[in-house]
Amino acid sequence: MKQFLRKKELSTLTGLSPETIRYYESISILTPPKRGANGYRLFTNKSLQELNFIKVCRSLGFSIQEIKQLRNLQNQPQNSCHDADNLVAKHLKNVELKINQLQEIKQTLLTLENCSNNQVHQCKVLTYLTKEE
């Protein structure tokens, strides 16, 4: 691999847009790259690894703040992974909560599906959506 990569090359290798790469740099979850004499950012293999790490974290639904915490832990390899375990456990609990909420939404939609009433004033979908709590 080349010693330095331009943002466009990094974008191709990671599948992330140049704007996303710039955003990750601006919020400090990507180590700022060196700059060439022409002012262009010069990314390294480490940048590629960091972006792939961030991309996997995002695919698992971790928030930017959680990714920052994981990146901080990653930069302290001598420490215990207890904090990472706790972060994952908390995230898993939130995922399970979202799954339960989505199951409830699914059940509601299944009961509303196939109204079969021909007239809007009898439509169970619209009746449900306009009900007062």
Please check whether residues 84 and 73 belong to one and the same domain. Answer: no
Identity of residue 13: L
Q: How confident is the model at residue 95 (pLDDT cuts 50, 70, 90)?
A: very high
Domain shared by 133 and 95, yes or no? yes
Nearest Cα neighbor of 5 from 47, 54, 39 is 47
Last residue of a domain, one of 52, 77, 102: 77
Q: Are 12 and 39 in the same domain?
A: yes
Same domain, 132 and 111: yes
Q: Are 31 and 68 in contact (CB under 8 A)?
A: no
Using the 3D structure, point to which of 44, 77, 110 is the last residue of a domain.
77
Cβ(30)–Cβ(50) under 8 Å? Answer: yes
Tens-digit pLDDT profile for residues 98-132: 999 999 999 989 988 887 767 777 788 888 888 87
Of the pLDDT bands very low, low, confident and very high (cuts 50, 70, 90), residue 26 is: very high
Q: What are phi and psi of 42, to 5 degrees?
A: -115, 100
31 and 71, same domain (yes or no): yes
Structural domain count of the chain: 2
69 shares a domain with 119: no
Whether 104 and 58 share a structural domain: no
User: Which pTM was predicted?
Assistant: 0.79
Structural domain boundaries enclosing 124: 80-133
Asked if residue 56 and residue 2 are part of one domain, the reply reads yes
* Torsion on CA atoms 120, 122, 123, 124, rounded to nearest 10: 160
